[in-house]
A and B are shown apart, each in its own frame.
Chain A
């Protein structure tokens, strides 16, 4: 041990200058890079959503042509899924997992650097397609064959961008698994880990399992387009529906990749502000694992209308309905955590509660969509659009907002402006419901999704939805300002930050934590 003591004077801060960010292997720096990158992508993807809502503001085509509209819906989804939500959760994992389990850093720091730095290149490649002949990919983010094979020059760029994103995600996931498996502080048994660590642990396995499947599917598209294969071409003996099966075998676990860490975030925040321990910790862990397992056997509920045999439709309906059970357990546990607590409603708590309520609304519409015969009416309508935006925006994104407000004082050492935070919450919540709730009505009334123009009976709700969209988009500029202002300065945060906060990062580290924390493992009782 004397050697370790002798090395103490080598403990250094960050490198000076911009190269710090390029060369860094520090989990906090990389976490910051991930989070800022995902915020930038959130605004970029959001700008495309604004184009979509502007075109849909009234019937007729006023702003863009249908082909460009399809490029916008496709790119909006790709950027939000792979550029905003997923990297943001990886950013949280980088910042928090080592601090929560008492590790000095991630297990594989150089790979960590690499998995981040792939992203800007992948997205530059993807975004460059907007300037190409024939425009960006316009066949939907689901890239269904044969339509996606009609993509112009953008096609190979799309495929390679997806490959790069997959490589980045898998490396990030391997890092999470290796860190959690090997670097927990003495006494930090698996069942003592914070739920955020647990949910990421399970998410990482999902990523490792499905990202290669996705890479395989898009590679088959590539060879179909350029090398004369017929995987998805019926005229050559292939099967266009097989692409959908492979895609959704990736795609459904992907949905949970974007929501399980959100469960972890909310399970950290609600106990803090209810000043009461999380109710049913172990059943929360088991519920997360059950959801992860079920996510592998429900994929075809995205394709009830492709003409599967009756037995197939029934199996996927029953399996999908089953997901409501563990998800319900989670919601009940959160409510029980609040019950008889002593609650205060700072911004992170507001976003967490907003998450529970609006994610549950998305869960209800999800249950409705699971019922195959009724899904024939809902499928590919705005009802589906409303459903997945409730679970993704007021679900995943809200949990990310909650996490940002909750941990930013710990990360920066500065409190954010509570008044502005609350204004941000209320503006977002009012506008997001104005944006997405009417889309349930539009879908039920018969408006298909992914159309640039619509019949006049859909005009009013579309206008309201667009107004909500503009409001929600503008409100996020306030969030950007709050983040900027908090990094710059502000009232100093205490080490504990929140009265009811628990966990190693709040109990054993100062705010902000030193560049290298837990160089000596803490003791966990």
Chain B
């Protein structure tokens, strides 16, 4: 029997080597938690390792005793069963001893938790809002005050989902607009959501917090090294839960100042764009871009939606009929469904463009355009 089992194990491991060779060669460094780049993530990592080792040591002792017993106290070796079946002393010992070990773990854990929960005296405050299925960032104070934008899954990742994920950089962990923050500053996040519960998590930052509609949660971080850190939504939030990544770019103070200037410049340009009259071709082209990042998750590339869950736009009377009711649904959403109110998420230009696109794409032939000024008029 034993020989047959060892043969089986050998055969299996050979099979594994053939099917997944890189598992053994390339990824031995993806076995453990990251140490991260913040004081919190470092403390959390140390705590994780401490408890892991305590568990390993207890495991070696307990399993060691078990395996020794299985070897030594077997009938086939002529073992005669003893008759003892209780010992109050032992029971007290193995109640007290684990308790003491637990107290030893609880002390550093409490210290870390207290450290993590102090969000006071932050240098920068950022409001993070979860939407199905993208993140919105709003800078609440300092030079960046007023900057507010949506961060969605990068287009090349989305295209690769049904094609070849291996060919895309940072597949599913890349966004169109990164969250940019300075290093060595205490950053406080206010988290909330507009529809369902999401959770904002970047492993290198060492913090995870739920974003809950109607509530505001707080957490803080201080990133020590410049770099790009990637994470994902961690709370099931519907169909595209797996497709709402988070990218944080930590930069020096100078770069941060430059980024603020750029971003504010872009806002001014956007407002100017909203005041001019667009050609239908420009609106259509811009609208296709917006549709393919904002709407495609539910309504699909071909505009057919998913029957029974997400309605089709192609051929829909809403998208080919009266403009004002179409505009109303896109801007104010449909309460009780996954359809969000986009008036707070998209600019006048984006809204006008995507409305135009939806009315004229695929088999839809409404033939009209929606101008940014029209959108502004009903805000």
Contacts and interface: CB of A to CB of B under 8 A. Distances in A.
A338 interface: yes
B110 to A, nearest CB: 6
A374 B109 contact: yes
Most B-side CB within 10 Å, residue of A138, A318, A373: A373
A374 B47 contact: yes
Contacts of A339: 65, 69, 73, 82
A381 B51 contact: no
A83 interface: no
A507 interface: no
B214 A240 contact: yes
A442 to B, nearest CB: 8
Interface residues of B, number: 111
Given A328-B94, A453-B161, A460-B23, A446 B34 contact: yes
A183 interface: no
B44 interface: yes
B378 interface: no
Interface string B151-193: 0000000001111111000111100000000000000000100
B258 interface: no
Given A150-B238, A344-B75, A373 B85 contact: no
A304 B336 CA distance: 27
Interface stretch (A32-40, A359-367, A404-412): A359-367
A484 interface: no
Interface residues of A, number: 105
Given A305-B210, A445-B30, A457-B30, A66 B236 contact: no
Nearest to A471: B12
A374 B48 contact: yes
Interface string B23-54: 10011001111100000100110011001100
A187 interface: no
Given A241-B215, A379-B208, A450-B241, A59 B9 contact: no
Nearest to B99: A325
Contacts of B212: 234, 240-241, 306-307
A147 interface: yes
B290 interface: no
A234 B217 CA distance: 14
Contacts of B172: 59, 453-455
Given A59-B171, A280-B85, A426 B197 contact: no
**Interface of A (DSSP majority class):** helix
Given A368-B51, A373-B47, A430-B12, A132 B161 contact: no
Contacts of A464: 16, 20, 23
A152 B94 CA distance: 52
Contact of A276 (B82, B164, B238): B82
Contacts of A140: 236
Contact of B308 (A65, A134, A371): A134
Interface string A313-346: 1100110011011001101100111111111110
B99 to A, nearest CB: 6
A149 B336 contact: yes
A281 interface: yes
Contacts of A368: 48, 51-52, 55
A73 to B, nearest CB: 8
A516 interface: no
B333 interface: no
Given A60-B163, A374-B47, A450-B241, A342 B74 contact: yes
A76 interface: no
Given A146-B196, A381-B234, A374 B44 contact: yes
B209 interface: yes
Contacts of A70: 236, 238-239, 241
Interface string A462-497: 011001000000000000000000000000000000
A80 to B, nearest CB: 17
B200 to A, nearest CB: 9
Contacts of A275: 75, 81
A324 B102 contact: yes
B86 interface: yes
Interface stretch (B113-121, B281-289, B315-323, B351-359): B113-121
Contacts of A360: 59, 62-63
A306 B196 contact: no
Contact of B171 (A336, A456, A463): A456
